[in-house]
Amino acid sequence: MSGTSVEVVIIGGGPVGLTAAIALAGAGVETALVARPAGAPDNRTTALLASSVTALDTLGVWPRCRDDAAPLRIMRIIDDTARLLRAPEVHFAAREIGLDAFGYNIENRFLIAALDARARALRALTFIEDDACAVAIEASSVTVELRNGAALSARLAIGADGHRSLCRSAAGIATDGRRYPQTALTFNLGHQRPHQDGSTEFHTPSGPFTLVPLPGRRSSLVMVVDPGAAARIAALPETELACEIERRSHSILGRMEPEPGRGAFPLATQTARRFAVARMALVGEAAHLLPPIGAQGLNLGLRDAATIGELVVATRRDGGDVGGTDLADRYDGSRRRDVTSRAFAVDLLNRSLLSDFLPLQGARGFGLFLMERIGPLRRALMRESIAPAAAPPRLMRGELL
Ligand SMILES: Cc1cc2nc3c(=O)[nH]c(=O)nc-3n(C[C@H](O)[C@H](O)[C@H](O)COP(=O)(O)OP(=O)(O)OC[C@H]3O[C@@H](n4cnc5c(N)ncnc54)[C@H](O)[C@@H]3O)c2cc1C
């Protein structure tokens, strides 16, 4: 492979890198995907919002995994802080905004398997199962060195290599962010009562405790607590864990049966100061890391992949340079508002839960109160959380690149 040259090289075979690869290679762009061989299976699930499902359907991925996903028709937020200023329960129904479902919740392993199978069927895509060790950005090309000693050059590199991105460092892009004194404990469980296609997010003083439906009488749990509590709860024997979860969920789904496999994710927020420079664009967690609140992280990442795909295909069609400064500026400009507004809202909501500052708690309660009472406000928020109202990428509108 030494000396191989392609138009675009993508580093990172997570869900965002795979989606970018499918979008580009599906439109005929000669693309290479450098994907580190998969590690231990991930028990997490992803709530994919409706516009992300449309994009995956347009790319031929969704038919490969839709049977493994559960619709999300109702979302409830319950203030479980027992504080002086508490918010009313807020209830969002997809049919209020004319949708059958807000989206679908799916185990990451099924989503990644569907993306992987679709990607491998594309002739314009070269799959390289290896690690990128170094990335060198030059004036008219970018070179990626692989662990096996080979090198690969391209007009544009797309960094989809997660929140500790080598690509981001190679491009000299700094980040802003903070760590939270919280860990998200994740696992899936069976339960006695049906979830009726509804997710429930309890707001507790340590963070959200969220149950999201899976097919059948199963749900996924994301429980945000302090790191000590996360370690203690994760180590509980199964029967004690089942009681603890039933207690924390106020028995809304009845008796619980935790499935094997626990995940623990320290919470942080991080945003790259630039999402692209000449020869390098960042997508997914390489560009932005958010706490898992409100199902925004991967949905944002899929919009990054759809946007960079659209810009590359359009630039190429017009005879332009797909790795040039012009494309980098347009990509950064297209993604910045969507990412920063959501990162800000998620950070504020999370900090209002942790804070002892009464006015901040009051503001959160008042915001939720307004949402519960004022239908147009609630509907506007529901529409905006599914996708930005302003200029969604073509794939999110069901149009091929
Ligand atoms: C508990 C939890 C729940 C979540 N729930 C939701 C949800 O419901 N909805 C939602 O939208 N988002 C959710 N998210 C966020 C979502 O999981 C992430 O946004 C998403 O996984 C990011 O995907 P990615 O492809 O950008 O990065 P990753 O999944 O981190 O993939 C990066 C890939 O790059 C590879 N890589 C790294 N370095 C190299 C290298 N040098 N060479 C080759 N390969 C490399 C890695 O091995 C990995 O495969 C959740 C997150 C957490 C922690």
Rounded to whole angstroms, how far apart are CA atoms 299 and 303?
A: 6
Q: What is the pLDDT of residue 274?
A: 98
Classify strands 103-107 and 4-11 as parallel, antiparallel or unpaired: unpaired
Orientation of helix 325-354 relative to helix 297-317, angle to 10°: 170
Q: pTM for the complete prediction?
A: 0.95
Name the residue of 18, 44, 199 to mutate for ligand 1: max ligand atoms within 8 A of Cβ: 44
Name the residue of 34, 36, 185 to mutate for ligand 1: max ligand atoms within 8 A of Cβ: 36
**Cβ distance 46 to 302 under 8 Å?**
no
| C-alpha of residue 286 to centroid of ligand 1, in Å | 9
Q: What is the pLDDT of residue 176?
A: 97
Q: Closest by alpha carbon to 261, among 108, 132, 112, 153?
A: 108
pLDDT in tens, 238-276: 999 999 999 999 999 999 999 999 999 999 999 999 999
Classify strands 125-128 and 31-34 as parallel, antiparallel or unpaired: parallel
Which residue's CA is minimally distant from atom 50 of ligand 1? Answer: 292
Q: What is the pLDDT of residue 355?
A: 67
| C-alpha of residue 250 to centroid of ligand 1, in Å | 31
**Cβ distance 289 to 297 under 8 Å?**
yes
Write down how long the chain is: 401
| C-alpha of residue 120 to centroid of ligand 1, in Å | 20
For 46, residues 6+ apart whose C-beta sits below 8 A from its C-beta are 15, 105, 106, 108, 111, 295, 298
Q: What is the pLDDT of residue 311?
A: 98
Strand, coil or helix: 31: strand
Angle among Cα 219, 115, 383 to the nearest 5 degrees reads 60
Rounded to whole angstroms, how far apart are CA atoms 21 and 127?
A: 10
| C-alpha of residue 289 to centroid of ligand 1, in Å | 9
Pocket of ligand 1 (CB under 6 A): 11-17, 34-36, 44, 46-47, 131-132, 160-162, 166, 184, 186, 222, 265, 284-285, 292, 295-299, 301
Helix (H) or strand (E) holding 199: strand 198-204
* φ, ψ (nearest 5 deg) of residue 162: 75, -175
- What is 120-168 written as a DSSP string? HT-TTEEEE-S-EEEEEE-SS-EEEEETTS-EEEEEEEEE-S-TT-HHH
| C-alpha of residue 285 to centroid of ligand 1, in Å | 6
Rounded to whole angstroms, how far apart are CA atoms 225 and 43?
A: 18
Rounded to whole angstroms, how far apart are CA atoms 236 and 293?
A: 25
User: For every one of its 401 residues, what pLDDT tens digit does the chain have, with 9 covering 90 and above?
Assistant: 456 899 999 999 999 999 999 999 999 999 999 999 888 777 899 999 999 999 999 999 999 999 999 999 999 989 887 665 566 788 889 999 999 999 999 999 999 999 999 999 999 999 999 999 999 999 999 999 999 999 999 999 999 999 999 999 999 999 999 999 999 999 999 999 999 999 999 989 899 999 999 999 999 999 999 999 999 999 999 999 999 999 999 999 999 999 999 999 999 999 999 999 999 999 999 999 999 988 899 999 999 999 999 999 999 999 999 999 999 999 999 999 999 999 998 888 888 777 666 666 666 776 776 667 677 776 777 787 777 767 899 999 999 99
Q: What is the pLDDT of residue 1?
A: 47
